[in-house]
């Protein structure tokens, strides 16, 4: 019985070691995949649509608290532009952004690289039509003060489906634990021309929410 237990323990030990190295290999493979460009066809399709100003619903989070207050977030103008020198570079920009109880006015722009999804991300974003965009150290201007505009540690990471035009991303400003979240939604180009109308409705709903909650 003692020899049998030792045999079982030895096999468990080898299985654990094998599993550990298998996991390391998988992570390494995903890390290398992240650095690879996605297909030129997907990039071309993304460029044909994801270009210019769009109105998306976003939530501003400060220390994890939704400062837009409303669960559906706030209509927000987001600009996407593509590099003329790097076919896989996309710039995401928010211009003079402030909503709800957010005490700051933020302008932010970050260059992002278009890349393939990892195997883990493909489990969440199913199908072959998704691209990932990811960038770091964006340019940040707070309350129109342009000093030290490069925000080290700031980042943007998102996903876009070139067929369905679904998108989501999160911007971490690396400042006062403030981030902007665009939760998964489908882009509607017609919203751009209705931004003022949508924002007015948001302000009305926000005022009603504050009144109801004694804010």
In the chain, what are the domain boundaries? 1-35, 40-212
DSSP state, residue 147: T
Give the model's pLDDT for residue 96.
81
CA–CA gap between residue 77 and residue 60 (Å, rounded) = 13
Residue 62: how many CA atoms within 13 Å on its side-chain side?
12
The pLDDT assigned to 26 comes to 46
Question: How far apart, in whole angstroms, are the C-alpha atoms of residue 160 and residue 184?
Answer: 9
Closest CA to 100 of 126, 73, 82: 73
CA dist list (Å): 122 to 9, 42, 116, 126, 130: 36, 15, 9, 5, 9
pLDDT of residue 175: 87
Question: Distance between CA 74 and CA 202 in Å, rounded?
Answer: 7
**pLDDT at position 46:** 97
- Mean pLDDT, each 10-residue run in order, the chain (215 residues): 54 52 47 68 97 96 89 95 95 82 80 96 96 96 74 96 98 91 97 95 94 91
């Amino acid at each position: 019985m003692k020899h049998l237990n030792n045999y079982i323990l030895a096999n468990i030990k080898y299985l654990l070691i094998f599993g550990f190295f298998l996991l390391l290999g998988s992570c390494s493979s995903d890390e290398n995949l992240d650095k690879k460009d996605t297909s030129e066809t997907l990039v071309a399709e993304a460029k044909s649509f994801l270009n210019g100003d769009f109105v998306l619903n976003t939530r501003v989070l400060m220390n994890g608290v939704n400062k837009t207050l409303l669960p559906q977030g706030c209509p927000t103008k987001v600009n996407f532009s593509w590099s003329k020198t790097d076919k896989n570079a996309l710039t995401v920009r928010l211009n003079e952004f402030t909503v709800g109880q957010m005490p700051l006015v933020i302008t932010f722009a970050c260059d992002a690289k278009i890349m393939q999804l990892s195997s883990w991300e493909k489990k969440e974003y199913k199908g072959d039509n998704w691209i990932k965009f990811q960038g770091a150290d964006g340019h940040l201007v707070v309350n129109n003060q342009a000093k030290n505009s490069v925000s080290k540690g700031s980042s943007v990471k998102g996903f876009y489906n070139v067929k369905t035009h679904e998108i989501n991303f999160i911007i971490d400003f690396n400042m006062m634990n403030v981030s902007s979240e665009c939760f998964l939604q489908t882009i509607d180009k017609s919203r751009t021309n209705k931004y003022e109308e949508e924002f007015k409705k948001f302000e009305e709903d926000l005022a009603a929410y504050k009144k109801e909650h004694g804010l």
